[in-house]
A and B are shown apart, each in its own frame.
Chain A
């Protein structure tokens, strides 16, 4: 690491010069090898080499947002993990979910978390929600080279807007494409291979201004539908007691649903589908 370079032991100039408030930018000077997307990849497709994470759904509610992710990671036709976590808090008021190459996605998510906190500490002010989304977009863009070789990762970003332009829209959702394109979504969105089915389910059942508990139920139902039709998405695993990760971001901050809460929602959904498989 860069801190060992100066024979006097003092922190190298890159630490003490004025620079920017971006951690990613600082890393590109101090330790570029730690940046995803900066590593040279051997030629060829790497898509089959690493586990893939799949379906994430996000729903805007009256109080903020709900984001949920299934727990399956696949590698080709194998299940690589049954309990991977794809939804994480990005900072005190926003959430990030990842789909695509799991390793790259988790690295991107960790870097993004540090990026937001770093800015907040250096500047003494939070980034706006749009600022955070733009930052994430440029980080996804930086991974384009790896994405072209099969190590694509696409995040879903959602958060509670502390200073909304429209007071009625406090929960906002942003989606991204592989090239770093940033799109704000209205109401709900899903990413990953099961997203077509999850979005179709949400399209029929979502209503603007839905309450948080209803949105949690909707999200689990949508993931159930995704798992129903997509092999790479895992449904509620009753045998192993592994249920989706569900998080909310509201005025009170981010919250991950406790095991007991999500267990009862997931069991309700499964019980409902026993009687009516179509939901």
Chain B
């Protein structure tokens, strides 16, 4: 019989932690911070695959690490939030409940499976005031931390956090908060420790708007983002006709014959009679 190598539980945990940390550190970072008008989520992201998204009315999600793994968690979060909101009430879906589900899930994956998830995620819930905002950091091993005001995730998160710690101001407006987030993200990764200049094309930006009723999540992209980065004072209103929140438009409809039972000729519309009242 083959000899079973013994590894102490401590060693196994250490190895898994190191593996997960290395995986996370390879990717680009993300920053979440509160400001006067809500919570700002900014990620360095060159692709069209999302690191930031909407979970529920007041809850946003940001993640770094392996895409397939955090995408999996994101879907699970949307499903859980929608299920709870549907079976109880929309107000009963909370960031803390979601953070608890994530910590259990990641904790179980970390201790029960060979390979831990190489992800770090943030669950952000916007409140009526800055004091009521909640930011939860959930790491690969299932530990969860309530972060007051701001957090950075991903490679060199510590250095980015230092920039945020020095200058974070809860009374800042959106432009100032975005400037700080972009500078913090750009403060690492340059040659010889020099700061980098990040442009609109390298950023994924969204916010949870404190003043908005219902769904608070909104992306800022394209010209709106460029204007804001260049110091434009106020965020322009979302373009008319553009969907709010997370959605892109569906493809334009192709010309197809109209399928109609009634149209202007009402005599053929016999089916309306059984829609009894």
Give A contacts to B, CB under 8 Å. 1-3, 6, 8-11, 15-16, 18-19, 23, 26-27, 30-31, 34, 52-55, 74, 92-93, 99-100, 110-111, 114, 117-118, 120-122, 124-131, 152, 154, 161-166, 175, 177-178, 181-187, 189-196, 199-200, 203, 230, 232-233, 251-253
Contacts and interface: CB of A to CB of B under 8 A. Distances in A.
B25 to A, nearest CB: 24
B23 interface: no
Contacts of A124: 50, 53, 246-248
A99 B275 contact: yes
A175 B258 CA distance: 13
B80 A152 contact: no
Contact of B75 (A74, A92, A122, A177): A122
B247 A16 contact: no
Contacts of B277: 52-55, 74, 99-100, 192-194, 230, 232-233
28 contacts: A8-B108, A9-B104, A10-B104, A10-B108, A23-B86, A26-B79, A26-B83, A31-B87, A34-B87, A54-B277, A74-B277, A93-B243, A99-B275, A100-B276, A110-B86, A121-B82, A124-B247, A124-B248, A125-B250, A152-B275, A162-B243, A163-B253, A177-B275, A178-B274, A183-B261, A186-B260, A195-B275, A200-B266
Given A3-B83, A11-B80, A199-B269, 16 more contacts: A8-B112, A16-B73, A19-B75, A53-B277, A114-B86, A117-B215, A124-B248, A125-B250, A128-B251, A161-B253, A164-B253, A178-B274, A185-B262, A189-B272, A191-B275, A195-B275
A191 B53 contact: no
Contacts of B260: 183-186
B66 to A, nearest CB: 14
Nearest to A232: B277
Nearest to B50: A124
Contacts of B73: 16
A121 B86 contact: no
B263 to A, nearest CB: 4
A187 B41 CA distance: 44
B241 interface: yes
Contacts of B105: 9-11, 16
Contact of B276 (A18, A152, A199): A152
A129 B253 CA distance: 9
Contacts of B261: 175, 181, 183, 185
B78 interface: yes
A186 B263 contact: yes
Given A100-B277, A121-B53, A183 B79 contact: no
Interface string B110-140: 0010000000000000000000000000000
A177 B274 contact: yes
Contacts of A185: 260-263
Contacts of A54: 277
Contacts of A126: 243, 247-250
A11 B247 CA distance: 26
Interface in B238-256: 240-241, 243-256
Contact of A193 (B244, B252, B254, B276): B276
A167 to B, nearest CB: 10
A11 B258 contact: no
B9 interface: no
B141 interface: no
A163 B108 CA distance: 45
A15 B76 contact: yes
